[in-house]
Structure 1
């Protein structure tokens, strides 16, 4: 009898101890959740306060609602799997709207333009793409980026560059090349942007016959139309005079070189090119000839890799602007 009583007491003690432990763990977990929620809200509030407390505010809020960009990608049926789908999975989703322009309509989805594929039809594809956008999507954005299906774009940096300009003025933004057109033109591979007013003038140019398909060289031919329609070339360099749009991959620019004649890939530059680390802005907008694996690598380096404790080299909104007439 005494042994039975001892076993009952021992068992009861185990049950009470187990229940007490569960109660304590529950209380602890609830406190953790409460603290986590409080800390999360505090950090969010601090971040919001910190963002608005500065004496100077950037002209760009980096908000997708204030600088609306429609991105259209020049592509074709043979590139959907090897190139275009990787843009859709990386930087394409950061545009306010993205359209993939092709000669064939697919469930990708692509927009079918009434034009054949091939390099000789690139300018026709550009003309038809801008006509389609003007007809169907003009009011969905203020800026209209054309990019190839092997271009990488940092859309947030693009918005920052564009924030300095009024989209209701005739602006044309990109990497400025010099030959063939008096005022120059923007590199097609680096990507270029038309303001809403520039797009209207481009369409008007073809409606009135002031612009024509006079050349198969897409970016130069579009530049001629921009000049004819009195569209101004914007300076896309940063406050230190460094380029933001790039017609080639990073390796073409970042390696410091001994003094030499301009290499072939810098011959058309409007501004005096700089080779080495000073070539490129901290707020780069684009690189060209970037394929699938490189797209994901640049995506990671741009949005995820952060050296712990690193202080950014400069705040572009606190710098004195360089002489833009250079």
Structure 2
């Protein structure tokens, strides 16, 4: 692995946390023992005789306040209620996360558990969580949940695992990363109320740590497991991420379409400006990869460096290169975009020189967003959310701004506290102060393809990956991100998505 100090731009939050996270390494043998005990509990705790009514299931949609995402979540809510009405059952409660709590940390779920415990534990058995694009077959879901005794502590989901230790999870379980399972949120996941009540008691006695939220599904599984004091994830085969058109879904309670959102014509090429951050020492090894892969998809693109080189060409904004963060350079890019680009260029994309991205797919995705709204889009991380912190878009996977978002940001006078401050985190603080939420898309990735479970990527049409460490970045691009016609995304052609629920 390339030394971490070799970067010319800001160290991501995940790397900054690495040292302290490694100190809390977990013993693999304990995990194996706990997993075996969990399996034994499953054998003794499952039953086909549990009488479960739909009203005993609380549905929680992991929604977002952006207008596109809020509408998708609302459509799923209506679909759940319609299925319930068709079954002539009492309608269940369906909650949208972005409406439950205006605090920026609501999306991390754990802060909401005390509310669920207080409000629903007396008359409910399960909380079922799902994403806005999860598709649920309600009769099959009820049939599946009836197998599990709701008086016991259950953590149910479709199990994912790391195939190798990864920086995303701070190299947890380095000896054997396959032993720890965490849920694929796209398939839906469930907690029984005895477990929710137990977690609530723990949350009240010890507040959540004020640190980073990076991969929520893994971090929730770690919190629930509690170093062996809580249950492991129980894998439920009926929780699926197979495409809805697949014959495999006949036995599934949940499904998930492999899709790239398309809400009309793709955004025009000249509406998207791409800014690439680089520095002189990476001109020779990183910039050629950009030019051999995705540069031709960007009609408007500029390279920003600490050195002007006409053969690329690069632009020196007069901000010195820094070894840590690059906040000063990023804000100079924002100002240049606002002051020197056409008003018809409504989107700005800022990437690192080792980001691999599909601009053509991004143009499809952006068709679903209103550029007249302040949109800040990418892969969402969180900092200090348990103590009133903020969310931010992690820079390596690409940060996407609507022109309106850039205008409001620069009008606010919120700026870097130093040139080498982490730009993505400062942007998160600024937008949080403006009351503008970040918008998350799982199609952006801060790390390499090999850092994610294959099963997780199998139901995505990804937009970006980041880093060239120990991979062939050109091969990675043409495997995962190349335009339609050369597109090999886990063996499938690109799928556009215009379905109504």
TM-score normalized with structure 2 length: 0.42
CA 167–120 in structure 1, closer or farther in 2 if over 3 Å, else same: same
1:64 Cα deviation after fit: 3.1
1:82 Cα deviation after fit: 0.5
Name the counterpart of 1:196.
403
Does the 8 Å CA contact 2:262/2:496 hold for their aligned counterparts?
A: no
Aligned counterparts, 1:87-166, within 5 A: 87-107=290-310, 108-139=312-343, 141-166=345-370
Name the counterpart of 1:290.
468
- Count of residues in correspondence between the two structures: 231
CA 311–216 in structure 1, closer or farther in 2 if over 3 Å, else same: closer
Unaligned runs of 5+ in 2: 1-260
Partner Cα separation in structure 2 for residue 201 and residue 252 of structure 1: 35
Q: Deviations over 1:136-176 (max 9, x none)?
A: 11525211011000000011221222211111110100000
The structure with more radius of gyration: 1
Aligned counterparts, 1:271-282, within 5 A: 276-279=454-457, 281-282=459-460
Aligned counterparts, 1:245-284, within 5 A: 245-254=444-453, 276-279=454-457, 281-284=459-462
Higher helix share: 1
Partner Cα separation in structure 2 for residue 292 and residue 83 of structure 1: 14
Name the counterpart of 1:222.
427
CA 319–294 in structure 1, closer or farther in 2 if over 3 Å, else same: farther
Partner Cα separation in structure 2 for residue 284 and residue 317 of structure 1: 17
Does the 8 Å CA contact 1:253/1:280 hold for their aligned counterparts?
A: no
- Candidates 65, 75, 87, aligned match of 2:278: 75
Partner Cα separation in structure 1 for residue 402 and residue 446 of structure 2: 21
Partner Cα separation in structure 2 for residue 96 and residue 173 of structure 1: 20
Partner Cα separation in structure 2 for residue 190 and residue 84 of structure 1: 17
TM-score normalized with structure 1 length: 0.63
1:299 Cα deviation after fit: 3.7
Partner Cα separation in structure 2 for residue 314 and residue 138 of structure 1: 32
Q: Secondary structure at the match of 1:222?
A: helix
Does the 8 Å CA contact 1:64/1:96 hold for their aligned counterparts?
A: no
Partner Cα separation in structure 1 for residue 302 and residue 465 of structure 2: 19
Alpha-carbon RMSD across the aligned residues, in angstroms, is: 2.8
Runs of 4+ in 1 over 6 A off after TM superposition: none
Name the counterpart of 2:287.
84
1:293 Cα deviation after fit: 7.3
Name the counterpart of 2:230.
none
Does the 8 Å CA contact 2:487/2:493 hold for their aligned counterparts?
A: no
Matched, 1:316 2:494: no
Unaligned runs of 5+ in 1: 1-56, 237-242, 255-275, 321-326
Partner Cα separation in structure 2 for residue 99 and residue 287 of structure 1: 20
1:189 Cα deviation after fit: 0.9
- Candidates 222, 228, 232, aligned match of 2:437: 232
